[in-house]
Structure 1
Amino acid sequence: MVLSQMEAGKALTAAAAKGNTIKVQTILEEGRVHPDTLNEFGRTALQVMMMGNAKIARLLLEKGADPNIQDKHGITPVHDAARTGFLDTLEVLVEHGASVNIPDQNGALPIHFAIREGHRDVVQFLAPRSDLKHANVSGQTAVDVAKASCVPHMMDSLFAHIHS
């Protein structure tokens, strides 16, 4: 299986986006494709993968994918996992060196996304690992976003970590 760089990136990202673990593994191993190979849109498999598939995340990361890769908006896979609420994928990313403190182009950390979307379990995971004093470009910290979110008990999820 010899693929051009573009074909390899396209095949790998398509398999990851569909959640096809076996195909991802085959492309990585038999095709000897690096997990950070870009598709025609300039994105890697980790950036387009089905976020609810922690197995694909683990496979890509174990094969050397960059857990902190950012798109043109500064969004990392951790931002995506936090926004969509996939705690298992988030845990795999962090376990493999992903930072939870990389801001996007608006200064938002992954915890800001999780709070806005109301993912309490994700917020509880991120809070002790996040810089809760970090403000986005609007000057809002995670606590400010939680206060404005109107999501019941979101402040409780942060409270234990505010004074840490």
Structure 2
Amino acid sequence: MSYVFINDSSQTSVPLLQACIDGDLSFARRLLETGCDPNIRDHRGRTGLHLAAARGNVDICRFLHKFGADLLATDYQGNTALHLCGHVDTIQFLVSNGLKIDICNHNGSTPLVLAKRRGVNKDAIRLLEGLEEQEVKGFNRGAHSKLEAMQIAESESAMESHSLLNPNLQNSEGVLFSFRSTWQEFVEDLGFWRVLLLLVVIALLSLGIAYYVIFQRTINILSFILFVY
């Protein structure tokens, strides 16, 4: 079988595992505080986290995690605790602490596949479906980002090769970059509005000088014409 029914483990000789099955938080806490191994397994390789998650005992799951339970532990069929989950709060706890929603057991089944086979409640199914959809979208975005990064790297490499083949272009780009950096530092030091005011004053002075030069030249031309005639 590709999944495990938990009802076949209603009794066990391991006290911590029995506490996880029964949902006995106080007993589980007492055992863990006295040094009980949080990753102890039953005859199928299931840890306390597997059994507590399967029964929806999320408080015990939290306590096991606090005492060092391995969230990535798998049983002998490759099932994580998430594969045995059927309760919304337990699924949310496991996923929020790093368990991957798309992880497969030895038969290639994901937690969602096993949840549907077991016929768990619809809220848990919808949650698993939503988490799988988010995982797929995140993977697609990551792949797209990697492709963009590769394209940018190729473009930069091509530009670098082009610059090496055209040293004049490389020098002009260096001068342009230096000018841009100097201008940015100048604006930051003086302040944007002061720079703007300075540019306006320079523009007005330039217009005044141009007007004066044109006016003087016009007067000289008219004077010459009058003198000739």
For structure 2, the 5+ residue unaligned runs are 1-12, 142-229
Deviations 1:53-112 (A, max 9, x none): 11111111122111221111111110110xxx2111111111222221210122110111
Q: What is the TM-score with the length of structure 2 in the denominator?
A: 0.48
1:38 and 2:41 matched = yes
Distance of 1:11 and 1:86 partners within structure 2? 24
For structure 1, the 5+ residue unaligned runs are 1-8, 135-162
Q: Name 1:12's counterpart in structure 2.
A: 16
Asked which structure has the greater RCO (Cα within 8 Å, sep 6+), the reply is 1
For 1:55-70, list aligned pairs within 5 A.
55-70=59-74
Q: Name 2:127's counterpart in structure 1.
A: 125
Q: 1:111 to 1:24 in 2, by over 3 A?
A: same
RMSD (Å) for aligned C-alpha atoms = 3.0
Distance of 1:133 and 1:42 partners within structure 2? 28
Kindly state the Cα deviation for residue 42 of structure 1 after the two structures are TM-superposed: 3.8
Kindly state the Cα deviation for residue 126 of structure 1 after the two structures are TM-superposed: 2.0
More helix by share: 2
Kindly state the Cα deviation for residue 40 of structure 1 after the two structures are TM-superposed: 5.4
Q: 1:62 to 1:95 in 2, by over 3 A?
A: farther
Distance of 2:59 and 2:94 partners within structure 1? 11
Distance of 2:98 and 2:135 partners within structure 1? 22
Distance of 2:91 and 2:32 partners within structure 1? 22
Kindly state the Cα deviation for residue 129 of structure 1 after the two structures are TM-superposed: 2.8
Q: 1:11 to 1:91 in 2, by over 3 A?
A: same
Distance of 1:118 and 1:43 partners within structure 2? 20
Q: 1:129 to 1:62 in 2, by over 3 A?
A: same
> Which protein has the larger Cα radius of gyration, Structure 1 or Structure 2?
2
Q: What is the TM-score with the length of structure 1 in the denominator?
A: 0.64
1:114 and 2:115 matched = yes
Kindly state the Cα deviation for residue 119 of structure 1 after the two structures are TM-superposed: 3.6
What amino acid maps onto 1:90 in structure 2? I
What amino acid maps onto 1:120 in structure 2? K
Distance of 1:96 and 1:133 partners within structure 2? 15
